[in-house]
Amino acid sequence: MGIRISGKIVREYLKRFPTLPNLTLAKKIYKENKLQFSNVEAVRNTIRYYTGRAGEKNKNNITDKEFIDRKIDFNMPESYALTYEPYVISQSKILILSDLHFPYQDNQAIKTAIKYGKEKGVNCILINGDLFDFATISRHEKDWRHRSVAEEFDAVRKFLKELRGHFPKAKIVFKEGNHDERFEKFLFLKAPEIFDDNEFKLEVRLRLGELKIDIVKDMLPVKIGKLNVLHGHELQGSGGVNPARATFLKTIDNVLIGHCHRTSTHLEKTFNGKVLAVNSSGCLCGMYPMFSRVNKWNLGFVYVELNVKTGEYVLENKVIIANKVY
């Protein structure tokens, strides 16, 4: 019989925080995984089980003794430092869509990108941020003629169901961008009393579990072999004349971003001959929003082929012009 999801979560935290006291660790796990545990004590009991402190009978039943009788060398106060561990994609053919901004999406551009992905036989789709726009709950000037939040959820839900229907076996991942984060930030600022209700989490509101779609939150990066994927807002000021170059100066690594709605590429060779490549992708939303009628945006998407053994990859930074892919 395999290990339950709750057990896998506890074991992972035991590896990451080997010296944290059990109660402190239980509180941390429960705070970050409330959907998997009923309360802190349930987490604590699971910790006791895997550390061999739930009685001799249970201790003898544990086949993997990795955490048995772990020693706490120094009892430190609880730390609120955040971790920064990437979400790993290990599929070989990945279609990356960025900045759809429902309900201001460009339907034809999205269809063009999806068609390209189907022709390539992709087995993974990464939505790299700003799937939503959430204009009516932003801190910026609002136009109340725009569609409501409820209508945005309906539109995004319809899109995701359609996407899953066309790619029934593919892995689908949704990484939040700055516009997607607006929903929970709004609740945090305007309705803190219900902010920690799981029913109001973006992934629950979208019912991503039913569609078998993973979500990446808290500005965490996505790793595709040796490629690091960010939405772009994590870097603060990664736009400018050449978004790719600005991103390179902040990361000094192989990186892909969206966010800037512009296709750009920047290459640098290190002293030892290693070539680093940074790309920014075009968007899949309307080109003429009210707040920026004149801009340098372009439509586009990215296709990546990954060598899953070596981590090497080939990246195609595609531009869409007049419904054709270049």
Name the most confidently modeled range: 10-14, 71-75, 156-160: 156-160
Is a pLDDT exceeding 70 seen at residue 210? Answer: yes
Which of 163-177, 216-230, 239-253, 312-326 has the weakest average pLDDT?
239-253
Is a pLDDT exceeding 60 seen at residue 1? Answer: no
The predicted pLDDT at position 241 comes to 84
The predicted pLDDT at position 192 comes to 86
State how far the Cα of 134 lies from the Cα of 130, in Å rounded to an integer: 9
The model's pTM is: 0.78
Q: Say what percent of the chain tops pLDDT 90.
A: 67
Name the most confidently modeled range: 62-66, 81-85, 100-104, 148-152: 100-104
Nearest to 36 by CA among 58, 66, 12: 12
What is the side-by-side order of every strand in the sheet holding 255-257? 87-89, 222-224, 227-229, 255-257, 275-280, 264-269
**Mean pLDDT calculated for residue range 209-223:** 96
59 touches 80 (CB < 8 A): no
